[in-house]
Amino acid sequence: MKTTKGLKKLVALPLILFPLVCYAKVTGQCGNCHTMHNSQGGAAVAQNMIDGSLDLSFTPNDALLNTNCIGCHQGNNSVGGLTTPYVLQTSPPTYSNTGTEGTTTTLAGGNFYWVSSGLEATGHNVNGIAIPDTRFGNIPPGGTALGSQLTCAGVSGCHGDRTVSGEIKSMMKSHHANDMTKWKDGSTLAKSYRFLYSVQGWEDQQYEYRPASGHHNKYYGIDRTLETQNDDSTISSLCAKCHGDFHQGSGNISSGTFGAGVWLRHPTDFDMGRAASTDEYVSYNGGSGSNNVYSVISPVATASNTEIINSTVYTAADDAIVMCLSCHRAHGTPYQGLLRWDYKSWPGGGFNGCAVCHTTKD
């Protein structure tokens, strides 16, 4: 009995201290994030988070880090607490209908909270956060099997250099070289949008915490002319690294001429500005086809690579590009299929975000 209690205390203590580690910026004290010898007073220091609990093996980490990705990026987002983007909340995030309302606490990618709670269709089943998806295993729909369960970074992950195995290894030289005030041109990992190697974009410094038309990420996209085209600097091409058939490939997207006929799969990296002036897309987000207000509910990408926020749409060429993130969030949402809104329960309940673009179908 006594021993069990003692052990519980031992486990609980680091958990309480843990958030302190994560508040500092990468510019803070080295010891907040690194441990020189993985030893303090003769005891091991490194503590990783795996499936909601502390990994008690205390083995040293790459780059002398005192914890893993999840250890630092797990916490609760709040006003003023956004020096670290928390992608796995420890208490239920406030999401509401679209994750953009005034009281919401999720970020642009949504949150892994729901998938970590066992609702497997609500998020990417990342190793250390959730068990492998029982329906898909390691096979991304529209793509080929990964070598292992999905990870945050590395060859089976989304962040970092996907040719390098090891999560931290694949992320080397990113955190200390980050500059969110600049357009990320994808030339190096640190200069890639959200450390997604090769992807371009301009990052909201609040990670889209309670976004508005003038405060949000600027996503990069291109207006393709061929369904076989794939430019790995667009945000949709990131998703295509695993779900390729949903983005590009002969006979995968359009029936007949790309953009001039009927679609086989929902278009992405395709500019709505191409539509005729009589088409419903002209009224995107309640506008009239010129300087429509940007929708944070169903955002669009742009071919512009300036450090000027795209708060309106149909203002310049190729600024109304449909992307995977027009409908999905990358980490997770409370809804099926990582969708930004509750597609399944509409009508009756749910929310019809499709109508932001398909303005006559509400």
- x-or-dash string of contact with ligand HEC, 285-304, rule CB under 6 A: -------------x-x----
How many residues bind ligand HEC (CB under 6 A)? The answer is 82
Q: How far apart are CA 285 and CA 280, in angstroms?
A: 11
Per CB under 6 A, which of residues 266..285 are in contact with ligand HEC? 266-268, 272, 275, 281
- Tell me the closest approach of the beta carbon of residue 318 to ligand HEC, in angstroms: 13
- Tell me the closest approach of the beta carbon of residue 166 to ligand HEC, in angstroms: 9
- Tell me the closest approach of the beta carbon of residue 124 to ligand HEC, in angstroms: 4
| Residue count of the chain | 362
Question: Which tokens is 37 given?
Answer: 């010898």
Binding segment toward ligand HEC, per CB under 6 A, in 6-14, 52-60, 148-156, 209-217 = 148-156
Residues 6 or more apart in contact with residue 10 via CB below 8 angstroms = none
Question: Which tokens is 240 given?
Answer: 């295509």
Nearer to ligand HEC, 26 or 96 (CB): 26
Tell me which residue of 219, 233, 270, 269 sits closest to 108, measured CA to CA.
219
Binding segment toward ligand HEC, per CB under 6 A, in 46-54, 225-233, 303-311, 350-358 = 350-358
- Tell me the closest approach of the beta carbon of residue 179 to ligand HEC, in angstroms: 8
Q: How far apart are CA 60 and CA 328, in angstroms?
A: 36
Q: How far apart are CA 272 and CA 188, in angstroms?
A: 30
Per CB under 6 A, which of residues 238..257 are in contact with ligand HEC? 238-243, 246-247
Angle of CA points 161, 164, 168, to nearest 5°: 80
Where does residue 49 fall: left (phi above 0), alpha (psi -120 to 50 degrees), or beta otherwise? beta
The identity of residue 99, as a single letter, is: G
Residue 128 binds ligand HEC (CB under 6 A): no
Per CB under 6 A, which of residues 52..81 are in contact with ligand HEC? 63, 65, 67-69, 72-73
Q: What does each C-alpha distance from 307 to 100, 310, 327 come to in angstroms?
A: 23, 9, 25
Residue 33 binds ligand HEC (CB under 6 A): yes
Interface residue with ligand HEC among 38, 117, 178, 252 (CB under 6 A) is 178
Nearer to ligand HEC, 214 or 261 (CB): 261
